[in-house]
Amino acid sequence: MDELKKKLFYEPKNGYDLVETAEHIEAENYCRGYMAFLNEARTEREAVSCAVELARERGFVEYIPGMELRPGMKLYRSNRGKALTLAVIGRNSLADGAVIAGAHVDAPRLDLKQNPLYESEELCFFRTHYYGGIKKYQWVTIPLELHGVIVLKSGERLDVVIGRDSGEPRFVITDLLPHLAQDQMKKTMAEGITGEGLHLLIGSVPYAGEGKDRVRLAVLSILNDMYGISEEDFLSAELVAVPAFDVCEVGLDRSMIGGYGQDDRVCAYAELKALFDTEDPVRTCVCLLCDKEETGSDGVSGMQSRAFDAFMEDLCASQGVELRRCYEKSFCLSADVVAAVDPLYPEVSEKSNNARLNYGVAVSKFSGARGKAGTSDASAEVVAYLRRIFARSGVVFQLCEMGKVDQGGGGTIAKYMANRNIDTIDAGVPVLSMHAPFEVVAKLDCYMTYKAVLAAYGDD
Ligand code: MN
Ligand code: MN
């Protein structure tokens, strides 16, 4: 009976029971590189410039439309510094399709409003408008750092990073002390901290003299010393507050990684590293780092933008291939994180079909919510294809969906790729505390996601 059970039952196994020591060492090395990337890439712009720098070190050159393509060529094209497409040209023509891996490099955060600055009770603040799906109460009383750009009327761009390096000042959103929070504590978690209440404390010293708004003036004079700006320049600024936590190992066994923005930079790095490790592929391999996923993939740098099609169309044109012929033969791994089963909240999970830490890269045949609405739902054929290439490459993987049926849901860029007539499936790293200022992933799953993308890129 035991033998028959072994033969007929499907029992997912913990990756630690499947992976040899040598591979754990490789996983450790891989994760060191990832952690360094995550510390550097705090916004979509920084992720793109980081990726470009890494790519250039590895021989990638900027793609100029019309360039003659040779197998093995390594190319990239930045979309306005906020999204990036990289490619390694294959031996086969694009008429045979491309292998695409797509992740997003934007993450939930607090954007400064266009008129952010005010003074109240002789303290100075920045007003914010949150970006992406956040639980607002998680963003108060934690250290925050400021990143972004200020573009002057002349067009000159000033890059801003304040609070990243140790020794630099940081910012915070205050909260009520428990002693005076009687009324606040009766509110729901959605209402306890409001969107209009997420204001950053940025200064307290008044400018010498008399009159109103002296702290505001003092703060502006500091900013003027640092960047030469006046208050009006905030109108054309993109400044964002993100958690000022360094990435770190989590757990006594150091098996996990904690940090901000792992959704979805953990998959973005997996794709990048896999592309860097792909030499002379049969089919052209494409790595997408896109923006605006957290707000619905709209806009010029989101995955619904025609920018990606323009890039692919240019590549196809160089080989005399029609874009639609390329797309219909292409395959896309939409590499995005998934919710991991959290034993502290068992009521939202369906354990047989939800992702677990250390069970490997998590494949979602579909996403969406309420009867699979808003998903592309990959075909059984596509899932079978993944099983085949993962088995060949020793990729530890699990099939999953998000939470219990009707508990909630979410989406990725998968449907926008599938809408282009490209066979697409989601696969990525399971995350605890997704969208929180400090998200947790397992090292083994990070490494297996890299191996999953590598397996796709390496397949002929
Ligand atoms: Mn995501
Ligand atoms: Mn997300």
Distance from the CA of 298 to the center of ligand 1, in angstroms? 14
At 374 the pLDDT is 87
Position 216 confidence tier, pLDDT thresholds 50, 70, 90: very high
> Is 2-107+260-458 assigned to CATH 3.40.630.10?
yes
What average pLDDT does the segment 259-273 reach? 98
Report the separation in Å between the CA atom of 319 and the middle of ligand 1, taken as the mean of its atom positions.
33
CATH architecture, domain defined by 109-243: Roll (2.30)
Q: Closest-lying ligand to the alpha carbon of 264?
A: 1
- Across-strand partners of 288? 85, 102
Kindly report, residue by residue over 350-386, the tens digit of the pLDDT.
999 999 999 999 999 999 888 989 888 999 999 999 9
Before 264, cis peptide (omega within 30)? Answer: yes
- Report whether pLDDT(460) > 80: no
Ligand 2 center from residue 274 Cα (angstroms): 22
Element (DSSP H or E) covering residue 284: strand 284-290
CA 271–ligand 1 middle distance (angstroms): 14
Interval 43-65: pLDDT, tens: 999 999 999 999 999 999 999 99
Q: How far is the CA of 411 from the centre of ligand 1 (A)?
A: 8
Residue 155 Cα, ligand 1 centroid: separation in angstroms? 32
- The closest ligand to the CA of 105 turns out to be 1
The pLDDT score that the predictor gives to residue 391 is 97
- The pLDDT tens digits for 74-132 are 999 999 999 999 999 999 999 999 999 999 999 999 999 999 999 999 999 999 999 99
Tokens matching residue 406: 């009707």
Contacts of 69 (CB under 8 A, 6+ apart): 89, 315, 318, 319
- CA of 335 from ligand 1 middle (Å) equals 8
* 337 Cα to the center of ligand 2, angstroms: 8
The region, left, alpha or beta by phi > 0 then psi within -120 to 50, assigned to residue 167 is: left
| Chain position carrying tokens 């939800």 | 354
2-107+260-458 shares its CATH topology with 109-243:
no
Instruction: Output the six-digit token pair for 19.
Output: 């992976």
Span from the CA of 2 to the centroid of ligand 2 (angstroms) = 42
Residue 142 has pLDDT above 90, yes or no: yes
Q: Residue 140: what pLDDT?
A: 98
CA 16–ligand 1 middle distance (angstroms): 25
Q: How far apart are CA 79 and CA 48, in angstroms?
A: 9
Q: Average of pLDDT values for 266-278?
A: 98
Confidence of residue 344 (pLDDT cuts 50, 70, 90): very high
Helix axes 443-458, 262-276, angle to 10 degrees: 40
Measured from the alpha carbon of residue 103, the closest ligand is: 1
pLDDT tens per residue, range 152-197 = 999 999 999 999 999 999 999 999 999 999 999 999 999 999 999 9
Percent of the chain with pLDDT over 70: 100
CA of 338 to the centre of ligand 1 (A): 8
Residue 2's pLDDT is what? 94
Write down the mean pLDDT value for the chain: 97
Distance 434 CA to ligand 2 centre (A): 7
383-427 pLDDT tens trace = 999 999 999 999 999 999 999 999 998 899 999 999 999 999 999
At 75-88, the pLDDT tens digits run 999 999 999 999 99
Domain boundaries, the chain: 2-107+260-458, 109-243
**Which one of the ligands is nearest to 334 CA?**
1
Contact of 195 with 130, CB cutoff 8 Å: yes
Angle 443-458/380-393 helices, nearest 10 degrees?
Answer: 100
Quick one: pLDDT at residue 459? 83
Q: At what angle do helices 44-57 and 262-276 cross, to 10 degrees?
A: 10
DSSP secondary structure letter of residue 408: -
Q: Give residues whose Cβ lies within 5 Å of ion ligand 2.
A: 263
Q: Cα 322 from chain centroid?
A: 31
Structure tokens at 49: 């410039």
Distance in angstroms between the alpha carbons of the first and the last residue of the chain: 40
Nearest bound ligand to the CA of residue 134? 2
CA–centroid distance, 295 to ligand 2, in Å, is 9
The DSSP code sequence of 271-306 is HHHHHHT--S-SSEEEEEEES-GGGTS-STTSTTST
Structure confidence at residue 27 (pLDDT): 97
- Contact residues for 271 (Cβ-Cβ < 8 A; gap 6+): 101, 102, 103, 287, 288, 289, 335, 453
